Amino acid sequence: MAGIPQIKLVFDRRKTASATTKGSVEVEVTWKRERIRLSTGVSVLKQQWKGNEVVNHPDASELNAKIRGLLKTMQDKLNHMAESNAEIDLAVLKVTRKAKVIGGKTDFLDWLEERIAKRPIKESTRRHHMTVLKSLREFGKIKTFTDVTSRNIKLWDDYIRSLDKVNCQASVHGYHKRLRPYIQEALELQLIDTNPYANVKIPRGKSEGIRFLTEEERDRIEELELFGMMEKTRDMFIFSCYTGLAYSDLVKIKKEDVFQKGDDYCIRDKRTKTGNQYTIVLLPKALAILRKYNFNLNLLSNQKCNEQLKLIANMAKIHINLTMHVGRHTFATWALSKGVGIQVVSKMLSHADISMTEKYARVLQSSVYEGYDLLK
């Protein structure tokens, strides 16, 4: 009909979509001889668009609601023009669209917080992503989508390097690595026009390598007279030193996981990180700590433990970046120094890297029990 503007959805107008390349969904409005196209901010693969809606997509409901909301906004605006006998001006729709997409979501950080909350990742990973968000809020120069520029990313990089807890290039790279997927998502949703990382190179850097304590350093920490939160942190760390368990594994130990094999008390469970089953023998000091807390070591968060370990390291005059994971490394190096075979230590730690463990002889579970005998 000539007197009514026509609104329709157009997918992949440029014909670039495929099974691996996304195409954009646009709203096309035609009035007399004028035509405008407005981005919906939705881009999907070819197989994810059918019959004017998103299908076979994990966020299909959310994306379809977004598209329907935009269509309704456009239609309501046109109806208002018609009812008020105003001249229909499609340029007004462009302004409305800009306000719709950007006006309610000018705050990049609020959007980022929402996306972090919805991202299907482990809670431990989500906490790392929230650390990035916290850093951006404290930095203060990246607030809106228009602030997401190469210049500000470089300034944020300088800010990260000024933080006390960031002490190597690998840590700096980690912040950027965690932000990049959200930048890519913002690009795909057309919330930003250009990739701020396009002309910014962030070197990966070298990690600090394996950090561990000597027996003498470990003993110094054991002998500290501590109370409250610091005592709990020290005990959790020392438990890791005598078991090789990572923080994520030791906090989920339950009394029913502990069983007896002869005179030994053992734990059999699956690693949180890999799902690989492990069996450990509780050496006397580890068993004593477990009993002290009634077989529940879920006492403090990993972040809080690591904060406390910095203070503990200073008290014990230990000059490395002490974290809960250092306990796992300390156990491994201690076991090797006591003559436990590297194959057995690999089994004790339940290494997930098959390429690493395959170059050693396959170790029977009985060898693990024998390996612990050397540590008693």
CATH 1.10.3720.10 for domain 215-373, yes or no, is: no
Exposure b/e, 28-38, CB count within 10 A at least 16 = b:
ebebeeeebeb
Distance CA 218, CA 225 (A): 14
The beta-strand segments (E) located in the chain are 6-11, 23-31, 34-44, 49-50, 53-54, 258-261, 264-270, 277-281
- Mean pLDDT comparison of 35-39, 241-245, 336-340, 343-347, highest-scoring range: 241-245
As a whole number, mean pLDDT of residues 121-136 equals: 90
Residue 331 · residue 243 · CB < 8 Å: yes
3-state secondary structure 153-171: HHHHHHHHHCCCCCCCHHH
Q: Could you write out the DSSP letters of every residue in 101-165?
A: HTGGG-BHHHHHHHHHHHS---HHHHHHHHHHHHHHHHH-S--BGGG--HHHHHHHHHHHHTSTT
Residue for token pair 């477990």: 290
Instruction: Give pLDDT tens digits for 137-170.
Output: 999 899 888 788 898 999 999 888 877 566 678 8
Residue for token pair 């709990």: 232
pLDDT for position 2: 47
Name the residue among 282, 277, 243 with its Cα closest to residue 260.
282
The Cβ-side half-sphere exposure at 336, using a 13 Å CA radius, reads 15
Q: Which residues contact 320 (CB under 8 A, 6 or more apart)?
A: 211, 213, 313, 326
Residue 3: what are its φ and ψ, rounded to 5°? -90, 0
Helix (H) or strand (E) holding 59: none
Residue 148 · residue 192 · CB < 8 Å: yes
What value does the mean pLDDT of the chain take? 83
pLDDT higher than threshold 80 for residue 329: yes
Query: CA angle at residue 95 from 90 to 98, to 5 degrees?
Result: 130
Q: For residue 1, what pLDDT band results from cuts at 50, 70 and 90?
A: very low
Residue for token pair 């951006």: 136
Residue 294 · residue 277 · CB < 8 Å: no
Instruction: Give pLDDT tens digits for 186-240.
Output: 887 777 878 999 888 888 876 556 678 999 999 999 999 999 999 999 999 999 9
Q: In the chain, what are the domain boundaries? A: 6-101, 108-188, 215-373
**Burial bucket for residue 76 (CB in 10 Å: 0-12, 13-18, 19+):** exposed
Instruction: Give pLDDT tens digits for 63-84.
Output: 888 888 778 877 877 777 777 6
Q: Which residues contact 283 (CB under 8 A, 6 or more apart)?
A: 242, 243, 372, 375, 376
Instruction: Give pLDDT tens digits for 241-266.
Output: 999 999 999 999 999 999 999 999 99
Name the residue among 67, 178, 79, 72 with its Cα closest to residue 125.
178
CATH 2.160.20 for domain 108-188, yes or no, is: no
Strand partners, 144: 107
Instruction: Give pLDDT tens digits for 263-293.
Output: 999 999 988 877 888 899 999 999 999 999 9
